[in-house]
Structure 1
Amino acid sequence: MSTSIDNARVIVAISFDFEAEEDAEYLTADTPDFWDYHERQYGGRRGVWRMLDIFSRYEVNATFFICAALLKSYPRACREIEKGPYEIAAHTIHHEHLDRLTPEAENEMFGHMQRMFGEFYGTAPVGFRTCFPSKHTLDFVADHGFYYDTTTRDDESPYRMHRPGRGSYIEIPRGFNGDAPWVGCPVATPLHTGRYNAAAEVFGAWRDEFDWLYREGEREQKLLTLCLHPYITGRPSRAKAIDNLLAHMAGHDGVYYATHLEVAQYFDRRSGTPAEAR
């Protein structure tokens, strides 16, 4: 492992979208999906605790993007996250589809979300992510003073995002290599297959991504982002996949675990950011 982010061969930024039932089809569909709703509750009841245990054993820094509504529905878990070496970032309030909101309603959501975090933790987060951005979302990220955002999927390295007349922030693109596309859900929905993939299959995909970046990292420092969900990876067989990955990476020199804030600050101060400002 690497002792600092500066001399790392691969920077590993693992994040969790802690959303539990706030992301359930039950809440947005015309016909509520009872099973989907309760399957996702597993993230707050059990999954997040298993992930905290695994990360503690491997001494991994990570970022938890939390839906603000969970501060009320799962306060004990949200407090436990605060105790560890983890960053707490914002993931909307109710996992809103921001592309379905009016600009006025979306702006109000941002303000209310930050107040909820401030009241619970004493300070508002500096990082933001949404799964359903509108054409106004990135402007509101700048308007509400976020230091970084991680909504886009257009690169592997951070860059400075400029919003004309509104300011700028660091954008940390997230890969499509997390648990949702590889693992699926135990309940079939329009977005998931309804089958459990074997832990070995999931681990193999993550391992191959790391190995390739580690190979390229001999020439140029690389960033691996991995977006996970407690209700998915927190299941026992899925937890084995992330445990296997952490054990695999532990056998390599030059690997550094960083929060998203640390990644943003690092690329912000580096000269010659890999991607041009946009």
Structure 2
Amino acid sequence: MKFHRGDNKSGSHLLPNVSEIQLPEDFHWPDGARIAVLITFDFQAELGTPVLPTGKPDYMELTERQYGGRRGVWRILEILERNGVKASFMISGRTAEFYPQATRAIHEAGHDIGGHAYLHESLWEMNREQENEVIRKTKQVLEDISGAPLVGWRSPQIRASENTLNLLLENGFIWRSDYLNDDLPYLLKVNGKTMVEIPYTVATDDAQLYMPGSVRRQGGGATVAPGPYGNPRNALWVWQDEFDVLYEEAKREPKMFIVTMHPYISGRANRSKAVEGMLKHIKGYPEVWFSRTIDVAELLRKQYVKS
């Protein structure tokens, strides 16, 4: 029996005046691929570091996260180059200012760059004007430093506000990765404009695998969880299982595998072996399309968005 892929092909959405359009039954990935693979990274480095209960800086946590900009991102870039994979990096504006060489290297290596707010702020806590200023500033900073146009976005903590979609469209964005509700991208239409939604998956986020609940608190900071959660081999098993199930299902209909990592987490030496192991596992299968977020967005816009 073939089960229906979804019940919201074209209809109402979570937000008022927004219609959601899923892909048609005859949709397919390029070159006969059965599955698209998106390797994504959230690169905020030390931004958003929690403080201690006394209100003073948590230097343990701060310097742990700085590792992502100083060392981790470079190790990740080497792994991607070694395996011939193009990825997508969601970068916070202030992070790009802290690490301009890394930001430019990401673009020059052919990876896609999406916005991840300026200070890794909680957008849902802001009013419309405040959020718009964050989006505009992030866009300006990342474009100035990377030299590439910024047309994609992932909100910090994967928590958009009720204004995020409209503000992104008003500022010229064409894709975002803020929802978690599908195995395939889809379209959001509002006020005559179209956004490509590329769903994120919390189950494959390295922060959840190494720090469940996004962080375990101890003394005000985040700690790597003990036991199997902190084991890179466990992360590799999760990524492989997620891919294997989707790949098998993709015999019947197209699927998308998306994984999210952080340079300060998966860029550590022992954890980087899990990253490379995942890439080698996936590359062992035929009919796989390694895609950047912009590639997915442009594919859908070319096929389904009228100019």
Q: Scaled by the length of structure 2, what TM-score is found?
A: 0.81
Contact 1:129–1:151 (CA<8 Å) still a contact in 2? yes
User: Among 248, 253, 256, which residue is 1:215 paired with?
Assistant: 248
User: Per the alignment, in what secondary structure is the counterpart of residue 20 of structure 1?
Assistant: coil
Quick one: which amino acid aligns to residue 152 of structure 1?
Answer: Y
Quick one: which amino acid aligns to residue 223 of structure 1?
Answer: M
Distance 1:267 1:50 in 2: 32
Partner in structure 2 of residue 159 of structure 1: 186
How far off is 1:30 after superposition?
Answer: 4.4
Contact 1:41–1:231 (CA<8 Å) still a contact in 2? yes
- Mark the CA change 1:121 to 1:99 in structure 2 (over 3 Å): closer, same or farther: same
Distance 1:28 1:94 in 2: 21
How far off is 1:50 after superposition?
Answer: 0.6
Partner in structure 2 of residue 258 of structure 1: 291
User: What's the Cα RMSD here?
Assistant: 2.5
User: Per the alignment, in what secondary structure is the counterpart of residue 106 of structure 2?
Assistant: helix
Quick one: which amino acid aligns to residue 102 of structure 2?
Answer: A
User: Per the alignment, in what secondary structure is the counterpart of residue 183 of structure 2?
Assistant: coil
How far off is 1:178 after superposition?
Answer: 1.7
How far off is 1:14 after superposition?
Answer: 0.8
1:136 equivalent to 2:163? Answer yes
Per-residue displacement from partner, 1:209-240 (whole Å, max 9, x unpaired)?
01001111111121101111000000111111
Distance 1:71 1:207 in 2: 31
How far off is 1:134 after superposition?
Answer: 1.8
Partner in structure 2 of residue 181 of structure 1: 208
Distance 1:237 1:29 in 2: 33
Question: Which 5+ residue runs of structure 2 have no aligned equivalent?
Answer: 1-28
Distance 1:140 1:32 in 2: 33
Contact 1:175–1:225 (CA<8 Å) still a contact in 2? yes
How far off is 1:31 after superposition?
Answer: 5.1
Distance 1:29 1:267 in 2: 49
User: Per the alignment, in what secondary structure is the counterpart of residue 169 of structure 1?
Assistant: strand
Distance 2:52 2:178 in 1: 22
User: Among 243, 253, 273, which residue is 1:240 paired with?
Assistant: 273
Distance 2:110 2:268 in 1: 23
Structure 1 stretch displaced more, 122-131 or 177-186 = 177-186
Partner in structure 1 of residue 58 of structure 2: 33
Question: Identity, % of aligned pairs?
Answer: 34
| Number of equivalenced pairs | 268
Per-residue displacement from partner, 1:136-195 (whole Å, max 9, x unpaired)?
1122111111011111111111111123x3622111111111211112289843796632
Distance 1:148 1:236 in 2: 32
Contact 1:35–1:187 (CA<8 Å) still a contact in 2? no
| Mapping 1:70-109, distance limit 5 Å | 70-109=95-134
Quick one: which amino acid aligns to residue 224 of structure 2?
Answer: G
Contact 1:142–1:167 (CA<8 Å) still a contact in 2? yes
Per-residue displacement from partner, 1:40-59 (whole Å, max 9, x unpaired)?
11100111011001110110
Partner in structure 2 of residue 17 of structure 1: 42
User: Per the alignment, in what secondary structure is the counterpart of residue 270 of structure 2?
Assistant: helix
Contact 2:107–2:148 (CA<8 Å) still a contact in 1? no
Structure 1 stretch displaced more, 28-37 or 175-184 = 28-37
Distance 1:70 1:257 in 2: 26
Quick one: which amino acid aligns to residue 194 of structure 1?
Answer: V
| Mapping 1:23-62, distance limit 5 Å | 23-26=48-51, 30=55, 32-62=57-87
Q: Scaled by the length of structure 1, what TM-score is found?
A: 0.89
Identify which of structures 1 and 2 has the higher relative contact order when contacts are C-alpha pairs closer than 8 Å and 6+ apart.
Answer: 1
Distance 2:244 2:199 in 1: 20
Structure 1 stretch displaced more, 38-47 or 126-135 = 126-135
User: Per the alignment, in what secondary structure is the counterpart of residue 22 of structure 1?
Assistant: coil
- Mark the CA change 1:219 to 1:92 in structure 2 (over 3 Å): closer, same or farther: same
Highest CA radius of gyration, 1 or 2?
2
Partner in structure 1 of residue 257 of structure 2: 224
Per-residue displacement from partner, 1:81-138 (whole Å, max 9, x unpaired)?
1221211111111101111222111111111222212322334311011123222112
Contact 2:104–2:145 (CA<8 Å) still a contact in 1? no
User: Per the alignment, in what secondary structure is the counterpart of residue 252 of structure 1?
Assistant: coil
How far off is 1:243 after superposition?
Answer: 1.0
Quick one: which amino acid aligns to residue 178 of structure 2?
Answer: T
